[in-house]
Amino acid sequence: MHILRSLPLLLATLSGAAPGIGPRNGDADHLTPPGPYASTDPNAPLWSPDDPNANPQPVRGDLGASPILGPTNRPLELQNPDLLAPPSTDVGDVPNLKWPFSLSHNRLTNGGWARQQTAKQMPVATDLAGVNMHLEAGAIREMHWHTAAEWAYILKGSLRISVVTPEGHVYLGDVNEGDLWYFPPGIPHSIQAKAIPEDGSEFLLVFDDGNFNEDETFLLTNWLAHVPTEVLAKNFNMRGQESAFNSIPAHELYIFPGVAPPENPEDDMVVPNDTELPYTFKLSEVPAEQKQGGSVKIVDSKTFQISTAISAAVVEVEVGGLRELHWHPTEPEWTFFLEGEGRMTVFTSSASNTFNYQGGDVAYIPPSFGHYVENTGSTPLKFLEIFKSDVFEDISLSQWLALTPPELVKAHLGFTDEIISHLDRIKQEVI
C-alpha cells in the first residue's frame, strides 16, 4: 500500500497538543513508555527561499547564536534552512544526501549540453547516477552503448529513439514529456530531438551504477576513429576502397546538430519494429492514482516489462501535504525534484538529519533509511522516486503500526486510543 496523507491530518493525529490526546501519564488504559518524551518543539523551516525579507541565521529557539560574523553564502543558506537552523529533533551526522544539478559541471556542445551527478559528486550515491541532458531541435546524441542500464524520463519536448538487440531485432519509437525509455546494458541506441518544440528537448537519464560516467560511453565515432581504414574496408567487404572511410570524424561527436527526423516514426524505420517488448513507455498517458494529499504513478517491470533494473514512482504532494514516513527495504532511492519546495528528514538508525530540496535537486536515500518528504512551499511538490530494482517496494510506518497488535504499539509509543482508532482505519484500507 502506498499512502499519501495530508499534513493537517498527521498533525492533528500525532501532535502531543492535539485535542483528545490527553496527558501522557500512567492511566490504567494508557501505557506510557519509560524515559523522557520526544520533543514537542515547533520544528518547521524558519524561512523560505522565496521570502525577500528572510534573514538566515543559525538560531532555533534558545539554541544557536547570531549574527553570523564570518563569511557566508546567503543564497545557499536561503535554500537550506534546515541545515543552518536544523529541527531540534535532528541528531548526529548523516552523509550528504543532496546534490543540486546547478553545481554539476556542464558539458556544452554544438547542439546541446549535459551535466551529471555520480558518486564523485555525492559519495553516498553508490548504486545510481543521473544525467540531465538537453538537445536542440533536430540535434543527435550520437549512437552509442554503455555498461550500465539506462532509464530516462522526458522533462520537456519530444524525441525519437532507436535500438538494435543482440538478436538483430529493432525498435524505433517516439517519447514525449512525461514518457520513459529504457536501454539494457550493452544495447546500442540513438537519441534525436524532433523538430517540435523549436527550443529543443530535455530529459533525465538514470543509470544503475553510481560510478557511471557519461563521458565514458562507447561512442560510434570514437570507435571507428581508432580502427585502421584497411580494417574498416575489410569489415564492410570494401577491400581496395579504403578512401571511402576518410571522412570519419577524428574525434567523438557526442551531441551534434542534425536534420530532424520525419514526424511519422514509420517513415523513419529501416525495417518494421520486431522486438518482443517495447523500449518506450507512455507514462504521460497513465492516470495518476489519487491519494489524500497528492497522487502517485508507479512504473516497474510489471507495467514496463523491459525495465528489469530500474523502477520508479512519480509523486505529487499538495501544498501542506506529506509523502508519509516510510522506507525501502533493500534498494536505495535516487530522487529527482521536478518542481516545488520540500524537505526530508532521513533516519539512519543512529542519526537523523533534515535536508531541503527544490526543482533540479537530487536526493539519495540508502536502503532501509527511514524518511518522509514534506511539501514546504506554496505550490505542489513533484518528484521522481527511482530505484535499482525491477519492482517498486516500500514499507509504510502507518501500515506497519496498523497491522501490529494495538497494545504492543501503545507499550512502545504511548499512543492513546484515539491514535489507535486512526490506525484501525488504515488497517481497514489494507484489508
Catalytic annotation, residues: 385
CA–CA separation, 344 vs 82, rounded Å?
9
- Paired residues of 327 in beta bridges: 395
Strand intervals (E) in 260-394 = 280-281, 289-291, 294-299, 311-317, 321-327, 333-339, 341-347, 352-358, 361-365, 370-375, 381-387
CA–CA separation, 150 vs 308, rounded Å?
11
C-beta neighbour count of 178 within 10 angstroms: 16
- Paired residues of 193 in beta bridges: 159
User: Could you tell me if 6 and 318 are in contact, meaning their C-beta atoms sit under 8 angstroms apart?
Assistant: yes
C-beta neighbour count of 194 within 10 angstroms: 22
All three cell numbers of 322, joined, read 506529506
- Paired residues of 204 in beta bridges: 132, 153
Q: What is the largest CA-CA distance in the chain?
A: 97
CA angle 339, 340, 345 (to 5 degrees): 110
CA-closest candidate to residue 430, choices 408, 398, 406: 398
User: Could you tell me if 312 and 394 are in contact, meaning their C-beta atoms sit under 8 angstroms apart?
Assistant: no
Please report where in the chains the cell 483528545 appears, as a residue.
Answer: 20
